[in-house]
């Protein structure tokens, strides 16, 4: 039987743990994407200042994901953010889900998506959306859970290898209660 993960809503005091998981997960899973082993990306995106700034954005939440008592993942969601980057209360964006390699194969990713789906349904959202690397295992994983590719685009960031620039925007439509669309 798969044990459900535990989720902790983060505050600024959790930033050291968030950064530790971000960096370790990135090193374990994503260095192959970059000509500089991801150094420029991590230096820009995995800093105390960047996380504080993101935490202070309206409708943004971070969660630490625990397997038993160990923090093994981080989730960042943006509530009320439409695909076209406008404020729209019908949508929820999954901006980041990072898991440590030790968490693989335990059903934590699937459980986390189900938790987000439950959260979004309870808030009467129309859809959940995210971006993923086109050829990555993550995109295939999201497709298995019902996400559909609605757009493809190139990720332009310094030092990303040309063969990995292609990204997809994916959406999961939700059943809404009591609303006729």
Domain span at residue 21? 6-173
The answer to whether residue 179 scores a pLDDT higher than 70 is no
In a domain, 179, yes or no: no
In a domain, 98, yes or no: yes
pLDDT of residue 97: 96
pLDDT digits (tens, 9 = 90+) for 55-97: 999 999 999 999 999 999 999 999 988 787 666 789 999 999 9
In a domain, 181, yes or no: no
In a domain, 178, yes or no: no
Q: Cβ atoms within 10 A of the Cβ of 50, count?
A: 15
In a domain, 136, yes or no: yes
Q: Please give the model's pTM, rounded to 2 decimal places.
A: 0.91
The DSSP string of 38-67 is: THHHHHHHSSHHHHHHHHTSTTEEEEEEEE
In a domain, 164, yes or no: yes
Compute the average pLDDT of residues 102-113.
93
pLDDT of residue 180: 47
Q: What is the pLDDT confidence band of residue 177, given thresholds at 50, 70 and 90? A: low
Tell me, what CATH number does 118's domain have?
3.40.630.30
pLDDT of residue 1: 47
In a domain, 96, yes or no: yes
Q: Cβ atoms within 10 A of the Cβ of 52, count?
A: 11
In a domain, 152, yes or no: yes
* Domain count across the chain: 1
pLDDT digits (tens, 9 = 90+) for 15-35: 999 999 999 999 999 999 999
């Amino acid at each position: 039987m798969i044990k459900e993960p535990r989720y902790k809503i983060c505050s600024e005091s959790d930033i050291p743990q968030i950064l530790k998981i971000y960096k370790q997960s990135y090193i374990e899973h994503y260095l192959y994407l970059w000509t500089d082993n991801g150094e420029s990306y991590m230096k820009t995106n995995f800093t105390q200042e960047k996380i504080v700034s993101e935490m202070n954005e309206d409708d943004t939440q971070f969660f630490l994901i625990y397997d038993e008592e160990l923090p093994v993942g981080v989730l960042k969601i943006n509530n009320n953010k439409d695909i076209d980057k406008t404020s729209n209360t019908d949508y929820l964006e999954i901006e980041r889900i990072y898991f440590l390699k030790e968490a693989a194969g335990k059903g934590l990713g699937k459980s986390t998506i189900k938790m987000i789906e439950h959260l979004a349904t309870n808030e009467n959202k129309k859809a959940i959306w995210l971006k993923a690397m086109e050829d990555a295992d993550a995109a295939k994983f999201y497709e298995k859970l019902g996400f559909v590719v609605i757009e493809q685009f190139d990720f332009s960031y310094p030092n990303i290898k040309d063969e990995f620039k292609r990204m997809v925007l994916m959406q999961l439509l939700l059943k809404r209660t009591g609303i006729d669309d």
